[in-house]
Amino acid sequence: MSDVRFPNESAEYRAARDALTEAEIELTRRIEAVAAQRRALPRGGLVPADYAFTAGPADLASDQPETTVRLSELFGPHDSLLLYSFMYGPDMERPCQMCTSFLDSLDGAAPDLAERTALAVVAKAPIGQVRDYARERGWANLRLVSSAGTTYNRDYHGEDADGSQRTRMNVFVRDGDQVRHFYATEQAAQPGWEDRHLDLLWPLWNALDLTPQGRGTDWHPAYAEKRFPPGRGHAG
């Protein structure tokens, strides 16, 4: 039982809150157990190709030419790579608003993540198109690459058979001189659970779950155009 008390709370409130605390402790234990189960996965399959992605210079304002970067090169000094599939295809006028919301959050976490793992964002749209959108959003820390001309999206379920783009967080690991797939978020097969496979990674929903109204059943974040002032530094 917690010894925390807030002004004017009732005994009924405190009893219910203590019961909730026990449930939250059990949830944390379960999250830890699932994370351990995830880490104990057998070795995943070898990647079928060292995909040749297209990238731009680190400075989003730079007009230096595009370059080719291999999947294996995205690891940098790390042995693991988080590679997020951004739903932005060459025929899409605007990218997915839910991906946009997620990447707004991930951009802020990227410098801290870089201390432990490599992180990149891959989209099927041309890299210039992706970088233009990144400038519009004010993303400063995400490494952006284009998978145009590769089979990466189809191979790792960032794209349906009809070419529709899908969201996915894939994790790859070094295995000696080879690269293996380690893990991917997978869509929960439950009605109304679209995008829940990213729940643990997405601060937006976790914060809303603390409120009386919760996350709701049909609310989606709206695009917020040019939310950052001109002149902010960028890297991509």
Q: What is the pLDDT of residues 25-60, one digit of tens each?
A: 999 999 999 999 999 999 999 999 999 999 998 778
Whole-model pTM: value is: 0.90
pLDDT beyond 50 at 191: yes
- Residue 182: give its domain's CATH number: 3.40.30.10
**How does residue 197 score in pLDDT terms, banded at 50, 70 and 90?**
confident
pLDDT beyond 70 at 139: yes
Q: Does any domain span residue 37? A: no
Q: Does any domain span residue 32? A: no
- Mean pLDDT over all residues of the chain? 90
Contact 185, 169 (CB under 8 A): yes
- Provide the pLDDT for residue 234: 34
Domain around 184: 43-236
- Provide the pLDDT for residue 62: 81
Token pair for 160? 């349906």
In the chain, how many domains are there? 1
Cα torsion 137, 141, 155, 173 to 10°: value is -160
Q: Does any domain span residue 94? A: yes
Of 4-8, 69-73, 196-200, highest mean pLDDT: 69-73
Token pair for 53? 């992605």
* pLDDT tens for each residue of 153-187: 999 999 999 999 999 999 999 999 999 999 999 86
